[in-house]
Amino acid sequence: MDSDEEDYVFFGTPIEREEEITNRRKKAAAEASGNLRALPPWKQEVRDEEGRRRFHGAFTGGFSAGYFNTVGTKEGWAPQSFTSSRKNRAEVKQQSIFNFLDEDEKAELEGTLGTSSQFDTFGFTAAEHARKQADKEQKQRPSAIPGPVPDELVLPASESIGVKLLLKMGWRHGRAINDSRASSLYDARREARKALLAFASEDAKAPCPADEPVEEPESFTVQPSDDDTRSSQSLPAFVCNPKQDLHGLGYDPFKHAPEFREKKRLHLLNDKQRRDRKTMSIKDSLFGSKSGKAAPGFGIGALEEYDAEDEDVYAAGYDFEETCIEDDEEPSRLGIESKQPSRLTIESKQKVVARDQGVLPGFKVASVSDYQLERFDPPVIPKDFVPHHKFPGPLETLKKLDVPSPPEVPPPDDSNLKLLIEGVAKLVARCGKLFEDLSRKKNQSNPLFSFLSGGNGHDYYERRLWEEHQKFGDQANLLLDGKLSPSMQKMTAESRGKLLGEKPLERSSRETTSSSVASGEFQLQFNLSDTFKKPDSFSKLPEVAKPFKDDPAKQERFEQFLKEKYEGGLRSTGYTAASNMSEAARAREKLDFEAAAEAIEKGKRGKESMVSTQPLDFLASGMQFTSGGLEQVENAHAEDLVMKKMYPRREEFQWRPSPVLCKRFDLIDPFMGKPPPAPRVRSKIDSLLFIPDSVKVAKPEEVAITNRDIPAAQTGAQMTNEDVAEQEIEIVAENVERPVDLYKAIFSDDSDDDVEDLNTKKAQDREKKTEVATTALNRLIAGDFLESLGKELGFEVPPDTPYSTNKANDLRMETPNSDSGNAKLSTGTYLNPGNETAQDGDSQKSKSIPVRSGGYNSGKHTVGLLNVSGKVNEDKFAQEDKKVKSPSSRRRNWSSSSSSEDERSRKHSKRHRYRSSDSYSDPSSDDREHYRSRSKGKRERSSREKSSRSRKHSKHHKHRSRDSPSRSHRGSERGHSEARKEKRKRRD
């Protein structure tokens, strides 16, 4: 409005404005001071920097729309100067959807927006093509009008107005009505270009399509899109071909091979030509041959649309040079015919032949059968072919097997020579003929080697060599067979023959031994045993001694068995012959063999002695030798049984129940205390509960101990001893059920204690040192007392009991000794019960020294120790019995000792008591602290101690309960201690 103000002429004083301005100013000042801020948003006003209210809308609308609420502009209003659109009419863009699309969208839409020729089967373009095609087709067909119908005669009806319009708009036949041009400018230019070219083409009748790019001006380099041409090209021909062939409907034999279609057409053509007329144009037929495709060049802008890529390269032979119709028809046809004549004649000849042969009418024999069965004669098998592959060994030893054995010759008298011959023979057998030749050559002059060249001992050498070869061949055979048929022994030639009912061939047993699968070890032994015996001893096995004649394989095994039985001192590892047999079958067979062998032996002996037909009786009586087949069946049956017996099969695995499951089943976790299998966080309880596995470990130990003790104990004590042992086992078992530690684990917070301990430890340590000193002194006194007591009881008491845990370890080491019967006992172990009663009577907190030291040990040892100590006690009693003879006195002794102990430990515990804090950690564990490593294992250990302690308590209850009838004060004591315990529990 300021600008407006300048233009206006004002008369008088603008009072209002003044007011307004002041008002504005005021408001601006108020705004600046933030007074307006206090207003709610809907009461606040928007003002410009001058304080004017502009009443903008949300953004720039509202009151100040436009140019200060006018239609004017900053420059004012002025009409634009006229510019004619004539000059740039072409520039006016026809908006199409393509102008608003991205490239990729265009690509997408290209297909959908245009009329696709694919679906234009009945559309005009297709119809047009069809018409043209039909025209051409008609030319080939025999028509009513003979001769080629001139194109002028068959004129299409005048086009409809729509087509005309389209044509005017630039559309031409064969093209899709598809505005694929992005710009109408391009269209316009193309129109112009076409007009130009049309003129040009009028002059030069048929301009070569190849010239087109050259003719085009530079500005026209924008090629028509491929899509356009393609769509026009790919319009399918809608041809109403009469069905002339005998194929199924829609079947096109040349679908993927249009070349053959052409050929076929040619044949037809030739036939036709031969039959009726010669005027058929091959060119047309060629066009017809391409009827599957849109004929190129028709309906397309003659110049531009024809690209090199449009036509298939294979059709290049017939170019459009030949489109000049009738004139050069003849030569071209002739040309083609000249290419084809020989084949044609051949075919016709074949056809004739085929007709002669009586081929079905409508069929003809294929000239070139692409499926020709070529037959070959089977290869002629040579007469001497043996259907068994012989592996060429590394040496020619195998071949030599067939060599007839040279007669057995006595070895030469000279033992040296004999040895030499044997050695050479062996070497030659092993290394081959070459070695023989070599050595012969080398030792030509040596008279010792004359046997090589037919001198002295040659015969023996020959024989030896043969034997060696024999042996070697066997071995090789074994090897090969082992390699070849590790498990294929099931169906040997023999067994097959037997199945077929053939008579088994009589074979030399020596050659068939190879059927066994031999291990390397066995081979070695085989060889060794071979060297110990005469090689052909078993080939001479009498006919009688072949009890398994009808099962050669079995016979072989039997012979093998015999060999192993009687030959050489080196028996093979076992009866390895039939590794493919089941254990049971093998065992049974072995039994059979044993029996048979025995029978043979007997027979031999019988023959020797009384020359009877004894050997045959086992054959007569023993039907178990007769048929292998029967036995097979039996075997199968047995195996069936075995299979049946296989189920149910029991297996055992480790399985770890989760602690919660154990808890829920009210059972004790067998894996308690063991490290968890998974890195799962385990609750404190799990790690604390430790009873059963220590118990388990202890048990056998205990039993062993009792066993050992019994012989040492006297007859009078034996019973009690055993009783006690049993009872103790009971006790231990009973303890398992007691959930004391579970209770503790739940309600006591050990880990906290440990922390506390750590804190208080240092302070306590100093105390402890003094403590240790005093207790040591105390112990010395007690030791003296014990010594005297021991002497009184007739025991040798070790001079001092170890107080420190190191010594406790020693103690533990000692205990086995004390078990083993000698009376050398540590006071600690001996005094255990006494101390414990003292605890019961006096204070639970105070712990006797040995227990403490025992507590240091791992749970297992603790229990062992405890049990041992208990046992030792009993042992002692037994021995006491020996001395004192009366149980009452023994009890008295014991009670006296324990009461004295009571006194002592009371003193001891008193001292402890004033020292010990009120925390859970009792003095004993305090004392232990500094021997213990301050590791995490602490907690576990303490729990173990606890458990062991509790076990001790209970044990003592048991002891007492046994003893109590005789001692009344004990009962009261027990009540007292029970109360104590309760109290303690509560405190815990």
Is 661 one of the binding residues for other proteins (CB under 8 A)?
yes
Count of residues that interact with other proteins, criterion CB under 8 A: 23
Is 665 one of the binding residues for other proteins (CB under 8 A)?
yes
Residue 569: partners with Cβ closer than 8 Å, 6 or more residues away: 532
Q: Judged by CB under 8 A, which of 154, 165, 584, 660 binds other proteins? A: 660
Whole-number Å distance between alpha carbons of 632 and 628:
6
Smallest separation, CB 672 to other proteins (Å): 10
Distances (CA, A) of 828 to 824, 832, 838: 12, 6, 14
Q: Judged by CB under 8 A, which of 240, 246, 646, 681 binds other proteins? A: 646
**x-or-dash string of contact with other proteins, 18-57, rule CB under 8 A:** ----------------------------------------
Q: Rounded to the nearest 5 degrees, what angle is found at the Cα of 764, between the Cα atoms of 758 and 766?
A: 125
Is 690 one of the binding residues for other proteins (CB under 8 A)?
no
φ and ψ of 53, to 5 deg: -85, 120
Answer for the pair 824, 798: CB distance below 8 angstroms, yes or no.
yes
Answer for the pair 958, 731: CB distance below 8 angstroms, yes or no.
yes
Is 199 one of the binding residues for other proteins (CB under 8 A)?
no
Whole-number Å distance between alpha carbons of 956 and 731:
10
Q: Judged by CB under 8 A, which of 534, 637, 664, 969 binds other proteins? A: 664
Smallest separation, CB 740 to other proteins (Å): 20
Is 343 one of the binding residues for other proteins (CB under 8 A)?
no
Is 662 one of the binding residues for other proteins (CB under 8 A)?
yes
Q: Which one of the spans 412-420, 659-667, 882-890, 979-987 is the region binding other proteins (CB under 8 A)?
A: 659-667
Please say which residue, 243 or 650, places its beta carbon nearer to other proteins: 650
CA 151 to chain centre: 77
Whole-number Å distance between alpha carbons of 758 and 762:
7
Q: Judged by CB under 8 A, which of 7, 651, 737, 918 binds other proteins? A: 651
Whole-number Å distance between alpha carbons of 698 and 202:
123
Is 736 one of the binding residues for other proteins (CB under 8 A)?
no
Q: Judged by CB under 8 A, which of 183, 658, 950, 954 binds other proteins? A: 658
Smallest separation, CB 661 to other proteins (Å): 5
Is 224 one of the binding residues for other proteins (CB under 8 A)?
no
Please say which residue, 12 or 675, places its beta carbon nearer to other proteins: 675
Is 920 one of the binding residues for other proteins (CB under 8 A)?
no
Whole-number Å distance between alpha carbons of 596 and 615:
10
Q: Which one of the spans 62-70, 660-668, 759-767, 943-951 is the region binding other proteins (CB under 8 A)?
A: 660-668
Is 221 one of the binding residues for other proteins (CB under 8 A)?
no
Answer for the pair 232, 171: CB distance below 8 angstroms, yes or no.
no
The alpha carbon torsion through 703, 707, 708, 711 (nearest 10 deg) reads: 160
The DSSP code sequence of 806-854 is: HHHHHHHHHHHHHHTT-----HHHHHHHHHHHHHHHT-SS---HHHHHH
Whole-number Å distance between alpha carbons of 811 and 129:
118
The alpha carbon torsion through 165, 168, 169, 170 (nearest 10 deg) reads: 130
Is 638 one of the binding residues for other proteins (CB under 8 A)?
no
Is 737 one of the binding residues for other proteins (CB under 8 A)?
no
Please say which residue, 533 or 656, places its beta carbon nearer to other proteins: 656
Angle between helices 750-793 and 937-963 (to 10 degrees): 40
Distances (CA, A) of 66 to 54, 73, 636: 12, 8, 110
Please say which residue, 608 or 651, places its beta carbon nearer to other proteins: 651
Collapsing DSSP to helix, strand or coil, 169 comes out as: coil
Please say which residue, 249 or 678, places its beta carbon nearer to other proteins: 678
What ranges in 681-749 are assigned the alpha helix state H? 684-688, 691-712, 715-737, 740-747
> What does the block give as tokens for 236?
């399918």
Smallest separation, CB 699 to other proteins (Å): 14
Please say which residue, 384 or 652, places its beta carbon nearer to other proteins: 652
Is 79 one of the binding residues for other proteins (CB under 8 A)?
no
> What does the block give as tokens for 768?
């402890």
Please say which residue, 637 or 664, places its beta carbon nearer to other proteins: 664
Whole-number Å distance between alpha carbons of 964 and 958:
10
Residue type, 592: D
Q: Judged by CB under 8 A, which of 375, 383, 503, 649 binds other proteins? A: 649
Residue 81: partners with Cβ closer than 8 Å, 6 or more residues away: none
Is 676 one of the binding residues for other proteins (CB under 8 A)?
no
Is 670 one of the binding residues for other proteins (CB under 8 A)?
yes
Q: Judged by CB under 8 A, which of 346, 667, 780, 979 binds other proteins? A: 667
Is 851 one of the binding residues for other proteins (CB under 8 A)?
no
Is 652 one of the binding residues for other proteins (CB under 8 A)?
yes
Q: Judged by CB under 8 A, which of 647, 737, 914, 933 binds other proteins? A: 647
Please say which residue, 30 or 641, places its beta carbon nearer to other proteins: 641
Give which of 645, 922, 893 is closest to 791, Cα–Cα: 893
Whole-number Å distance between alpha carbons of 127 and 130:
5
Please say which residue, 507 or 656, places its beta carbon nearer to other proteins: 656
Is 278 one of the binding residues for other proteins (CB under 8 A)?
no
Is 8 one of the binding residues for other proteins (CB under 8 A)?
no
Is 202 one of the binding residues for other proteins (CB under 8 A)?
no
Smallest separation, CB 603 to other proteins (Å): 39
Answer for the pair 521, 573: CB distance below 8 angstroms, yes or no.
yes
Please say which residue, 591 or 641, places its beta carbon nearer to other proteins: 641
Smallest separation, CB 653 to other proteins (Å): 4
Q: Largest Cα–Cα distance in the chain?
A: 177
Is 655 one of the binding residues for other proteins (CB under 8 A)?
yes
Q: In terms of C-beta density within 10 A (0-12 exposed, 13-18 middle, 19 or more buried), how is residue 705 classed? A: buried
Please say which residue, 10 or 647, places its beta carbon nearer to other proteins: 647
Smallest separation, CB 651 to other proteins (Å): 5
Smallest separation, CB 591 to other proteins (Å): 22
What is the contact surface with other proteins in residues (CB under 8 A)?
646-658, 660-662, 664-668, 670-671
